[in-house]
Amino acid sequence: MTVIIAVLVVYLLILLVIGLWGGRESKTVSGYYVAGKKLPSWVIAFSSNSTGESAWLLLGLTGMGYAVGAHAFWIILGEVLGIALAWTVVARPFKAYTDRFDSITVPDYLEDRFRDKAHVLRWISVVIIFSMVTAYTAAQLTASGKAFGSFLGTSYSTGVLIGAAVILYYTTVGGFKAVAYSDLLQGVLMFGCLVILPIVAIPAAGGWTEVMGTLHAEDPALLRPMGSFGLTLPGIISAAGFVGIGLAFLGAPQLLTRFISARDQKQIVDGGFIAVICVIGFDVGAVLSGMAGRVLFPGLLDPETVLPEMSASLFPALFTGIFLVVVLAAIMSTVDSLLILASSAVVRDIVQQVFNPKWPEARFSLYGKLTTVVIGGGALIMALAEVRMVFWFVLFAWSGLACAFTPVVLCSLFWKGTTRAGAIAGMVGGFLTTVGWVVFFKEGFYDLYEMLPGFAAGFLCTIVVSLFTDPPEGAEAELDAIREEVGPIFRSGA
């Protein structure tokens, strides 16, 4: 236990140092929210993947590999495709647009792209971001409390408070630079964990042949691509839903912010290769670990406990401490990004851009930090209450943010006919469909993942309304200029 605590303390101290170091860049709005747009490729690549995956990767995807076996490989396909398309198709024109507009947030970009002088898109963005982020952050802090309890035996509230204190410190003091570099550290730890775990677990379970044989003997469906459903409508819907998880990488605002923060176009090109390799290591390692874990620890009541079980049984105390750190890293890499996203929605998108007070940059930065603390404090109170209702937000927070923003962002980048009214309709339609699907329809449609109807509604609303309204003046010429600037997908930037 002493060794585990020592590893944890060293890790937390490193995060505190990163916070102090990042604080030098956090004295302006641009510095606090996008690190002054100076981040290199390897930082934005690991930061993007770490933020997108969260504790769901280490606990949820390993648990999915344990529960459904080979059927979980559809998730890997979806995420690899989503990340590859995000970096090769979306990132470069989005970076070119946001540099042209000097955007700091995604709502900045949308407002300038559609000449929205009434700030309607900005207000809609803020409502959606704030509603999703607060509850999702609370749920992640709840996971922090449980992680400390599982590994160290601390009380739930102590675990929540420790996790929240560290995250709030380095996020508030260091801003986005501290978030990005801490995400880099956390992403490297997650990658190493998920590469090493199956390499150790599969031989411990008797080798690859023995693992496959045992799984087949227990249930042949564990080795079938369509799982227990077979090639049926429910099986196709389940596989499509798993692939659909990757769609969020094309336009979730917390991920698009990484493209805004890149130093230049070359960092986008280089970062794409790193991001794809990273997610393959993440996801393949998680699913294979879960499958090996089913052989090693049959009959677990909760499949999502397989990673803690394996780390405690297969590794010495030093590595068990590292695995605790990795679980916390997954949680922290999501929470810090969500806090920055929500804070920017309030301070940058509403206070600075809508009300436009004539304050110096340092005051906006200070208020951004205070807002981060307030939002984190609200999530902390919800987490300490251990309100179970908050977990249903987690089911669609990822898809809710993605379905509100991604269809509109994609249309804005690639279709000249996209209009302001279409963008408004697409954001509202995509978001409300996602929420409505989970609440009213999901159970009756073979649990079809809400990302798919949410995306369909977002695109449909954007396209139909745009066909009956006029695009902003000058937007067509602007899009042509962006295409000329960006050129072929893999051409290196300046």
Give per-residue pLDDT as tens, 16-63: 888 888 877 777 888 889 889 999 999 999 989 888 776 677 878 898
With contact defined as beta carbons under 8 Å apart, do 170 and 18 qualify?
yes
pTM greater than 0.85 (yes/no)? yes
Q: Is the torsion defined by CA of 137, 122, 241, 75 positive or negative?
A: negative
> Which residue type does 228 have?
S
* Residue 129 and residue 140 in contact, taking contact as beta carbons nearer than 8 Å: no
What is the dihedral sign for C-alpha 30, 33, 39, 41?
negative
Helices (H), 205-298: 208-218, 233-244, 253-260, 265-296
The CATH class, in words, for 2-104+134-390 is: mainly alpha
Q: Dump pLDDT digits (tens) for 119-143.
A: 999 999 999 998 888 777 877 787 7
Question: Which DSSP category does 6 fall into?
Answer: H
CA distance 216 to 241: 25
Do 461 and 428 contact (CB within 8 A), yes or no? yes
Segment 383-401, tens digit of pLDDT: 887 655 434 456 567 788 9
Mean pLDDT of the chain: 87
Per-residue pLDDT band for 99 (boundaries 50, 70, 90) equals very high
Residue 103 pLDDT exceeds 80: yes
Q: How far apart are the C-alpha atoms of 492 and 292, rounded to whole Å?
A: 41
Q: Which residue has the higher pLDDT, 305 or 194?
A: 194
Neighbours of 450 (CB within 10 A): 25
Contact 114, 423 (CB under 8 A): yes
- Give residue for tokens 């804070």: 343
Torsion of CA 221, 227, 228, 233, to 10 degrees: -150
